[in-house]
Structure 1
Amino acid sequence: MDKPTSTIPLLSGYGNYFETEAVVGAIPKGQNNPQKCPFGLYAEQLSGSAFTMPREKNLRTWLYRILPSVKHGKVVAAPEEAPFLTEGTKLTPERLRWKPLDYSMLVRSTDFIQGLFTVGTQGEPTSRDGVAIHLYIANCSMENKCFFNSDGDWLIVPQEGGLRIQTELGLLPLRPGHIAVIPRGVKFRVELLDGKARGYICEVYTGHFELPDLGLIGSNGLAAPRDFLYPVAYYEEKEVPFAVIQKYGGKLFRFSLDHSPFDVVGWHGNYAPFIYDLSLFCPVNSVLYDHMDPSIFTVLTCKSSVPGLAVVDFVIFPPRWMTQEHTFRPPYFHRNCMTEYMGLIRGIYDAKAEGFVPGSASLHSMMSAHGPDAVTFEMASNVELSPSRVGEESLAFMFETSRMLKLTDWALDPKHLDVNYIDCWQPLKKLASLQVE
């Protein structure tokens, strides 16, 4: 079988049913699973939903591969593969901010999986309900090794360093300013394009990430379906020892192969990994007064069983115009029935004057008061308002979840925290002078 070229073509369109083959004729015509597949390939179905889900919610892909996934060695526990990929155990309502992960913490060669650190979790992966937030840092590529997650989907947000993600369904290039979603069960490996990389991961145990409903916004705005990109079939026929790491019930396991698992010559279906360029997001906002709720910046959501209540929303704050009159334009002081985990990919976030640097993160838990720091409040209260660009050369994001996060010991270790974070609100002064008779 001839290999495809080294370029990385991609398929366009969110939620479409795709058909792609690296060798013409690899996908049988007329029957999904004939008695014998072309070229001696094996047919294998990957299901992302229950078989009996409604058609619009039914997710599955047929893979035509050189060897079926069932051919592998004995499964063994492998907690050493990512010692800090754990379940959270501790609750705190304190407002927290973390410093960026420092590459100096890597005392040896560390790949994408070995460099995973869990910030917090909530829910139970064994009952397929909940959410987790992780960080990654790496200084080497995964070699003859791959990973797949039985617990849920991963939304990967690079902050520094490009990635080349090899999946069973094809190749995905990923740079800071882009995101990737790897659905439950899809095997992948990560190659570093710049020698080192770090970023953020949101994991959902419940359902899958999907586009939010637009409601009164109408048919246009936010993320356009056509801008989501999927891999085309790409395979390798290698007979080499290969390690497969599996996340199952919050624990890590390992089994071996005598061949590369990336041997899918063709596939068709609607259950596949994808990437999205955040610069293509079309923001909507107020054009007269008041700061709008951050939900208007939702790129992807994972819905709960309660209409309008998300397990998690992925929200971004891109460069945009601000035009409101007689209005305090930055985020207002608030207490929220959601938990907000924020990260900064690049630039300066307009609601914080200092301390929130690229690669850092903050957590404002359910009903914990937060908002602009004292410096930002003073400036925004007195600035002359005119149409202006906000967040130029900046890109911040938020994982907003309806769950209270249980934090890990690693996340609460003071050496990773900005222990002075809450000081940013202490200079706020009493401004009211009321005389009540």
Structure 2
Amino acid sequence: MLLKKEKQAWRQKESESSLSEVNNSVKVPQNASFFRKLLAFMGPGALIAVGYVDPGNWATSIAGGSEFGYVLLSVILLSNLMAILLQSLASKLGIVTGRDLAQASRDSFSKGVSFLLWILAELAIIATDIAEVIGSAIALNLLFGIPLIWGVCITSLDIFLVLLLQHRGFRYIEIIVITLMVTILVCFGIELVMSHPNMAQVAKGFIPQKEIVTNPAMLYIALGILGATVMPHNLYLHSSIVQTRQYERNLKGRKEAIKFSFIDSTFSLTMALFINAAILILSASAFYFTGHREVAGIEDAYKLLDPTLGSSIASTLFAVALLASGQNSTLTGTLAGQIVMEGFLNIRLKPWLRRLLTRMLAIIPAVIVTAIYGVTGTNELLILSQVVLSMQLSFAVIPLVLFTGDKKKMGVFVNPRWLQILSWTVAVFIAALNIYLLIHTFV
């Protein structure tokens, strides 16, 4: 009787689909070639990859490159492999069960636990929003000279863009995100060529070095890169947006959807790996090997790029990429906020109201800190936002590993033993890492 009740609770109200306005809305051609079907499934991975190159990640990559050269490229690679694993679990959960991670948590845990998880998820989204607000404001300041406090306020207007795109269809959001990702890729591709990195040393940087563990300063930066890479809101987001495809809701259709979704997310996260590695390589080439090893933040990097690379467009490309990164993160943050609120609380607010509430919670502290402390304060707030994200991550990862390893919930799609061991190893590692980061930050 208990098993039957648990199964009913897991499958309850399946009609309440995740992101109901776009769920099952993107057509997938039947009896088509492999590449035509893959093209139909491509898109959600790009939205996920956005979270791995948001403004909050830039600071750690810039610091790692300017202080230690190419050594920490191996840490970026490890972070990316962890991300591919966790995102594949999130997409499989959504495809197999028809529930996003927030809905699955609400179905499986008590009301008190679900409410706590919702609060933590909301804090993570607010922290992500703060990083987006500050990143976009810094980019507007660097490009157009707009004061930071006004740049923070201007970013609140992006809710109208999000609403417009949602009404036109989910594919429009994906196209905008992919366009902005390509913009970031092109900007850093040009800057990499201009920086003339030593390719032999770059290749060596992807091989883990003993000094990463033995050097306390390097270890701290390495942990910062790892801790800020996997974004908790991305796990909720991915488990939902994979359901926008019109795959057959049967055994064969789900197997096919899982396969194409894995290819999509792996390809997009590889692009994110290139961007994060490019930021670190650029920082190492432009600063570490020219003696500028005390680059404190994004603004310092912007000011030093032109003279160190000997080009007047280097800093402009950097700022354009930063603006594209901030705006991209805004789009995905909007969707993640809607998924978390609807999934945990089963409350369906209008998207503009939900976005406005979250945006105000991000803008208010950003405006106050910017007004009082200026650039230094925004950099501190940017770092704090990453600490908050680190605190919340395990509360998304552990339920995800639990659900995808439960045969009663996943059936034939349950994680095999080797994947279960690997997933729990990553989950424990992330938890231990974040505990260390929090102790180091506050103590």
Pick the structure with more strand per residue: 1
Q: Which has the higher contact order (CA 8 A, sep 6+)?
A: 2
Higher Rg: 1
Taking structure 1 as the reference length, the TM-score comes to 0.23
Pick the structure with more helix per residue: 2
